[in-house]
A = this chain, B = another copy of it.
Amino acid sequence: MLSDVMEDYLKAIYQLQRETDDRIKTSEIADELDVTSPTVTSMLDKLEDRELVDREKYRGVTLTDEGETVALEIVRHHRLLEAYLTEHLDYDWSEVHAEADRLEHHISEDFEARVADALGEPEVDPHGSPIPSADLEPPTRPEGKSIAEFEEGTVVTVAEVADRDPEVLSYLAEHGVEPGVELEIIEIAPFGMVTARSSEADDPVSLPESVASHVWVAAPAEPEP
């Protein structure tokens, strides 16, 4: 049996791996979980003992298959909860992350199944993030780019908004940036800021690189010029 904290570490490593596909460093995990490096080191010892991570001292970790399965289970819980909260309890997409984080470790398999059923086995959560399937097979990473990676003038369809900050998410929703909308990339400033016009809003919106890089597109809606 794994503790909640261990599950949090596995989930953090999983998510960091999705972003960098490199070995994950102690300090990255420490930042993600808001904890000090020695704390991470000692937890990695334990996870290694249980064969949930592969480790090379001083060089970071990767998840073993078993570790990845645990992480996928937690991510599935998290995203199903996010979907359920927005669909059935009238939560806004900006609010669901914190609540799902609280609950994800504490629901039974039965609860998970009932929620998935009530939702009709959804494939994505309210942010457009894919929900791992019940068999916990590692999803093949769908190719995608952030809006920061397109040419000016391109029109793209938002697939996923991978930010977790409620304030940022509220702001984005207010300015028409949500999964499913079309975005015309108007300008990419030298310092990385992206200005775009949403099909759902009157005025264009400008996003610093740190935010724009979280707005993902599955494929360009029109070929690039």
Contact = CB atoms under 8 A, between A and B. Distances in A.
A159 B47 CA distance: 50
Nearest to A84: B89
A106 interface: yes
B91 A102 contact: no
Contact of A111 (B89, B108, B110, B111): B89
A90 interface: yes
Interface footprint category on A = 10 to 19
A112 to B, nearest CB: 11
Interface string A78-116: 000000000011110001001100110011101100110
Contacts of A102: 106-108
B89 A115 contact: yes
A128 to B, nearest CB: 23
Nearest to A108: B99
A75 to B, nearest CB: 18
A118 interface: yes
Nearest to A114: B89
Contacts of A114: 89-91
Interface of A: 88-91, 95, 98-99, 102-103, 106-108, 110-111, 114-115, 118
Given A88-B118, A99-B111, A103-B107, 6 more contacts: A88-B88, A89-B115, A98-B108, A99-B110, A102-B108, A103-B106
